[in-house]
Every structure is written in C-alpha cells, then in structure tokens.
Structure 1
Amino acid sequence: MRREAQVNGIRLAYREEGDPAAPALVLLHGRTADHNDWNGFTRHFADRYHVLVPDLRGHGASDFPGTYPIPEMAEDVAALLDLHDAATATVIGHSLGGMVAYHLAMRHPERVTRLVVEDSALPVPMRDRPALVEDDSTGFDWRMMHDTERQFLHPDPAWLGGLARITAPTLVISGGQASPFRADLLAERIPGARLVTIEAGHLVHTTERVAFRQAVDDFLGG
C-alpha cells in the first residue's frame, strides 16, 4: 500500500506491506531508483515482517528538499520507524541505500537488529569517477545526484571510524569483479560482518534475484 508521511521535516512517500504487529523491516533503494526497485522482495518479506519501503528524499514521490546529506537520509528512516512505533528494525539497503542503512546502524546502533548492505561503497574518497553529466532522466532530483556525488568523492573522515559502532549482525553482499565497489573492504570495517560474493555486478538483487534472496533469507534465519 502506498502511503505518505511528514518525517524529519519532509514528505516521504513509502510502500507498506505485512502485519503492523510483526517485526519491522526496511528496504532502501539505490541512487536514482525508488521503492519499485524492490518489487517482488517486498511481498516476499511481508510474510514475516512489517515491511516499509521508502522513496529516499530526492527520489520518486518523496520531497526534493535540495540538500541530501547521507546521515540526514538515515534520520529520515529513523523518523519513519518512529511514526510506526518501531523501536527496532532489520534494514536492507542497496548502493546509496546501503550507505544510508549503515549510517542508520552506526548513528542508532540500538535500533538496527540486523543489517544487510548490498554492494555499497566504503566511505573513503572515491577516485577515477567519471564526471557527472545531466541528461533528461527524471524520477529524481539532479541536485541529489550532485550532492551525493560530492559525498562519494569527499566523505566526512569520521564516517569510516563510525562503522566500528555498528553492533547489528551484518551481511555485506558484494557483486564481485564486475562491481564498481569493493564491498569486501566495507565488510572488513564492520565488526563481525559476514561477506557473501555473488558475481552479478552492481545490481545483485535484480541480476541474480534467487541467489540474493537465498543469501538474505539464510542470514535472517540464522
């Protein structure tokens, strides 16, 4: 069911599925996508969880506030959980959504019961990135692209050390050699994180849906 809420000073659009009395699970899409990126997975997890799938700020039907600090995106998610009286949640994020997820887990470690990060970057300066060139793509705010790109190139140095504050059992899924990111290096920084590599490139959950679902189900059931 599509819903909208005022959280953290913005309007956040999101999809909600499953029993509200069940444990909360949040799915966070990657950059330029929206909640539809998790179609199929939403229903799959709704058998066991109260599933919340937001359009991150600057994406889809959510507000385009013009500023897009990744930690503030994490606070948007925390506020959405507050709205649903969910003290804790399992959080699954892809790419930018994975970064938002691990920021939530390091800012509010007591709120994240399990964390799954799919092919996201370590918060260190990225090099050899092609210049960002605007085209006619829609469905997201181009200011979000520029703002997040600056954070990819020049992340706050404190973010790297902050990963050590994550206490949730964590699964890091790497897309392998075809991925633009070294998710294995991210896994090394999160205490006790488990690394699974699926040779699928960056879009693991769409390119290898069955393998991704199995890896996550095995982790959540463990």
Structure 2
Amino acid sequence: MTYRNVDLEGVSLGYRDTGTAGPPVLLLIHGLGASSATWERVVARYRDRLRIVALDLRGHGRSTWTSSYELPDMVSDVSRSLQALGIPRATVLGHSMGGLVALLFAARCPEQVERLILEEAPPPLPASPPRDEGAHPEGELDYDWNIQAPFSRQRNHPDPLWWDQLAGIGCPVTVIRGTDSHIGAGSVRRMVDVLADSNLIELAGGHDLHTECPEAFEGVLDEILADPH
C-alpha cells in the first residue's frame, strides 16, 4: 500500500491506496482526530478483493491544516480526490465525523457513490446534549485542534438542508450503531427511516466499532461487500 498526497486547489490530502484489485473501490473516511491509519485491519482483510483508498481528511494525518473546516469543504475534498485519482464510483465507508461527511457526499454527489456504510455516524440533527465548542486539551496533538470548534458548531446547529437532502440518497445505505453509543438511538432510527434504501445493524460496543469489536464489524462488512446489490 502506498501513502502519498493528492494535491487539490487549496488543500493537499494524504491518502493510502492499495492500487490493486479494483474496481470495485472501497473508500474509507476516518473520524475526528484519527487518520487513514485507523483502517489498517480493514485494509489488510479486503485488499486482495478490492482497491482500497483511505483518505486523511483536512487537518488530519498528512493533509493540510487549513483555515476552513466546514463539512461542505470536506465533501468537496472527497469528490475532487476521487476525480483526481480517476475513480468514477466507490463504496464509501465512513466512521463518526467521516460518516457524516460520507452521508453528505452521497447526497451531493450521488453519481460517485455506489453504496454507503455508516459506522457510528451522527445524523445531521442538532446534537443532544450539545457539544462543547470551546474546550481545548493540554499537550500536543497529531491533528489540528482548530477543527473541533467548527465541527461542534455544525453538530449543534446543522444546516437544515442537510436533513432535507437525505431523502434523495438513492444508493443502498447500511447504518452500523453500537449498543453503547453516545449517539442517541432515536435520532439514528429517524435517519434510517428517511433514507430510501437503508438498514440498521447494531453491534455490542461503543463508538469505535472497527477497533472495539473488529470481528463482528468485519462480519457485517463481509456480508455487505459480498452483495452485488
């Protein structure tokens, strides 16, 4: 697997790419504070069957630290990265914040999304309880902490259009939620009900299912990726 950067107008994104066995392509989008490295086990399991591309979102990994961390900008980054890499369509797996980015990406760029897998993705509804928009940890971080405030703001006060766009997502969507998740079950089920072609799977675990219960998580992925839909 190679680890390099794709240079887009205004930002450079790190990405890991198996460069083999595709199409089909599996695009992996990590959560807040993580990087493409979080998917190491998933990559090892599926690299012989699929071309796998794992992005570093702006402000994470080897990607540019920027002045803007708006979710629509991240959606644009994902779309432009696939275009730059010559990938017309992909199955997209997003975790947490990366799942919300993937969800908005499917709504805005449906022609680029084959199917969607959302791991512990927050629905585009006001966070309950509200996220703290001002906290800052001590010490050094390996991602840009300046992303925290804008992400929390967008979680607390999401654009109402984001919710309205969900009904237009036509690709198959699998929503994976942990039974001990901090994301409310009611809001997740509301999202599943709005999505046209979706199903909800709950696993015994918390927020980081792909690392907390990898065997169960990969069992779900096995079924999804084996389905030609």
Q: Under TM normalisation by the shorter chain, which class is it?
A: over 0.9
CA distance in 1, matches of 2:190, 2:206: 16
Q: Does 1:190 align with 2:195?
A: yes
Q: Does 1:12 align with 2:17?
A: no
Q: Does 1:221 align with 2:213?
A: no
Displacement of 1:79 in angstroms is 1.0
Query: How many residue pairs were aligned?
Result: 221
- Which residue identity lines up with residue 145 of structure 2 in the other structure? W
Displacement of 1:45 in angstroms is 2.1
CA distance in 2, matches of 1:21, 1:92: 16
Please say if residues 21 and 47 of structure 2, whose CA atoms lie closer than 8 Å, have aligned partners that are also in contact: no
**Structure 2, unaligned stretches of length 5 or more?**
none
Match of 1:93 in 2: 94
- Which residue identity lines up with residue 160 of structure 1 in the other structure? W
Q: Does 1:200 align with 2:205?
A: yes
Match of 1:165 in 2: 168
1:62-211 mapped onto 2 (5 Å cutoff):
62-129=63-130, 131=132, 132-135=134-137, 136-176=139-179, 178-181=180-183, 182=185, 183-211=188-216
Match of 2:47 in 1: 46
Please say if residues 8 and 76 of structure 1, whose CA atoms lie closer than 8 Å, have aligned partners that are also in contact: no
Displacement of 1:191 in angstroms is 1.1
CA distance in 1, matches of 2:46, 2:77: 22
Comparing 185-194 with 208-217, greater Cα deviation is found at: 185-194
Displacement of 1:25 in angstroms is 1.3
Displacement of 1:189 in angstroms is 2.0
Cα RMSD for the two superposed structures: 1.4
**Structure 1, unaligned stretches of length 5 or more?**
none
TM-score, with structure 2 as normaliser: 0.92
Which digits, 9 at most, give the CA deviation of each residue in 1:156-202, with x for residues without a partner? 010001111111111000112x1011333322221120110002011
CA distance in 2, matches of 1:19, 1:72: 29
Please say if residues 125 and 158 of structure 2, whose CA atoms lie closer than 8 Å, have aligned partners that are also in contact: yes
TM-score, with structure 1 as normaliser: 0.95
CA distance in 2, matches of 1:7, 1:186: 32
| Percentage of identical aligned residues | 33
Change (3 A) 1:21 1:70: same
Change (3 A) 1:33 1:154: same
Comparing 145-154 with 178-187, greater Cα deviation is found at: 178-187
- Which residue identity lines up with residue 63 of structure 2 in the other structure? S
CA distance in 2, matches of 1:44, 1:27: 13
- Which residue identity lines up with residue 205 of structure 2 in the other structure? A
Please say if residues 116 and 173 of structure 1, whose CA atoms lie closer than 8 Å, have aligned partners that are also in contact: yes
